Amino acid sequence: QVQLVESGGGSVQAGGSLRLSCVASLRTYSSVCMGWFRQAPGKEREGVATIDGDGRTRYGDSVKGRFTISKDNAKKTLFLQMNSLKPEDTAMYYCAARLFQYCSGGYLGVGEYNLWGQGTQVTVSS
């Protein structure tokens, strides 16, 4: 079964850190564009960070310098290290994959991805 399963969310105080993980059940993984997205209540889903098959990354402006996306191809696992968390980072975080499509440089648009995980909640208190 093709799926993405996120974990690692939780509650943390402002300034703290969390590391999200996403395990992919995909036959091909290393060349697939992967991304992290988030959606806060009442807001649209937005791109947080993406990584392509060559390891090139892109970040949303609000997380640059604080979040780091990485992946372990052998374990088919995507990570998001989140440091210096702020209350405005509070959201449901989703892992996504861009399957069967050209992948180069990473894509932050929601519509560029066609496989989504169920999400993991991140709550940052002030």
Q: Could you read off the pLDDT of 28-79 as tens digits, one per residue? A: 898 899 999 999 999 999 999 999 999 999 999 999 999 999 999 999 999 9
The sign of the dihedral angle between the CA atoms of 80, 110, 89, 49 is positive
Tokens 């499509």 -> residue? 101
Instruction: Give bridge partners of residue 77 from the DSSP assignment.
Output: 23, 72
* Secondary structure class of 97 (helix, strand, coil): strand
Q: What is the pLDDT of residues 67-116, one digit of tens each?
A: 999 999 999 999 999 999 999 999 999 999 999 888 887 889 999 999 99
Give the model's pLDDT for residue 73: 94
Kindly tell me if the per-residue pLDDT of 123 is higher than 90: yes
Give the model's pLDDT for residue 36: 98
